[in-house]
Homo-oligomer: A and B are copies of this chain.
Amino acid sequence: MKVTINDVAKHAGVSIKTVSRVTNNEPSVKQVTIDKVNSAIKALNYQPNLAARNLAGTKSYVIGFIYDNPNAYYIIDMQNGILSACKDLGYELLIHPCNSTAANICKELTDLVKHNRLSGLVLTPPLSEDPVILAALDEIDANYVRIIAGEKVDTNNGLAVLVNDRSGAISITQHLIDLGHKHIAFLSGDHEHASTKERLAGYKQALTNNQLSINDDFIIDGKYSFESGVQGAKDLLKQRTRPTAIVACNDEIAAGALFAARLEGVDIPAEISIVGFEDSPFSRQTWPKLTTVHQPNEEIAHIATELLIAKRKDKPAQLGKVFLPEPVIRDSTTQVRG
């Protein structure tokens, strides 16, 4: 019933180690032999047993996805991207939601890696940006790829996929400036996320690029949540000079700002334009539909996983890749009123 490596070896007339060499792309096998083995594998529909590989070998063929993020859309996209890369490369995925601020988070993660002998980890913010956690993982020599906000790949990053949030923020802010807005506010996300810092920097950069002054009253501290968006927008609307546009640090905050505007009877976009960041599905389900910045999360996760697995195969080490988020113009932004 079950086809094992022994069956393949017998069928191909070679030893099991040779079959193992072929399935693992190891050197020292003649092409003729490789072909013999491969056709035996195909003929018998052989699939290596993961548990046995795991037990005998040093690689587990299992990668872990570690996250601490309440954004379901983001997580699902990431999972799907990782999963598609895993499927292509014969790996399996272990998902591990966690609390990055838990006291024992380092032990939790290192135990996870050790107990499951994980081949690698995909880390998302804020875990991917926490030096204490990274140090703990380095100590046990764990493989990981970080998904982080940043502008260019460099060796200090380790293996990383960068999302250039700054450039995305510059583009979307420029979009507002191009519409004639001069009083543009910023609703920030959690400060533990580097993305918040980068998006804020991009917002400021765009203002500066256009000789617009930076008004500190227009930069509101907050968190990556709907409620924070509601509160932040309320605060903005109370000010003597109201902004004519708001850059929200993500779509949820933007949705909260939309909500607050409605509470105060402010029409969006006629009176105030609002933009989000992320292009999550619900940015298409608000009224009006949100202008936002698109991040190809599934692709980001796919590439990250490929990098991670490639590293283990000792291929020419590619250190990372940078993604440029692009604006998506919908209905929550318009020309500033004369």
Contact = CB atoms under 8 A, between A and B. Distances in A.
A55 B50 CA distance: 9
A50 B92 CA distance: 14
Interface string A91-132: 011110100000000000000000111000000000000000
A43 interface: no
Given A55-B49, A95-B83, A95-B95, A285 B72 contact: no
Contacts of A115: 47, 50
Contacts of A287: 258-259, 262, 287
B95 A226 contact: no
A226 B55 contact: no
Nearest to A1: B114
Interface stretch (A8-16, A73-81, A204-212): A73-81
Nearest to A252: B285
Given A72-B75, A95-B95, 10 more contacts: A50-B51, A50-B116, A51-B52, A51-B55, A72-B73, A76-B76, A83-B95, A83-B97, A226-B285, A282-B282
A319 to B, nearest CB: 29
A256 interface: yes
Contacts of A52: 51, 55
A293 B54 CA distance: 45
Per DSSP, are chain A's interface residues mostly helix, strand or loop, or mixed? helix
A60 interface: yes
Contacts of A51: 50-52, 54-55, 60, 117
Nearest to A54: B51
Interface of A: 47, 49-52, 54-55, 60, 72-73, 75-76, 79-80, 83, 92-95, 97, 115-117, 226, 252, 255-256, 258-259, 262, 281-282, 284-287
A133 to B, nearest CB: 20
Contacts of A285: 226, 252, 255-256, 259, 282
A134 to B, nearest CB: 22
- Complex A-B, nearest 3 residue pairs according to Cβ-Cβ distance, in ascending order: A51-B54, A72-B72, A72-B76
23 contacts: A49-B55, A50-B54, A50-B116, A51-B51, A51-B54, A51-B55, A51-B60, A52-B55, A55-B55, A72-B72, A72-B73, A72-B281, A79-B95, A80-B97, A92-B94, A95-B95, A226-B285, A255-B282, A255-B285, A262-B287, A282-B282, A282-B285, A287-B287
Contacts of A49: 55
A52 B54 CA distance: 8
A83 B66 CA distance: 13
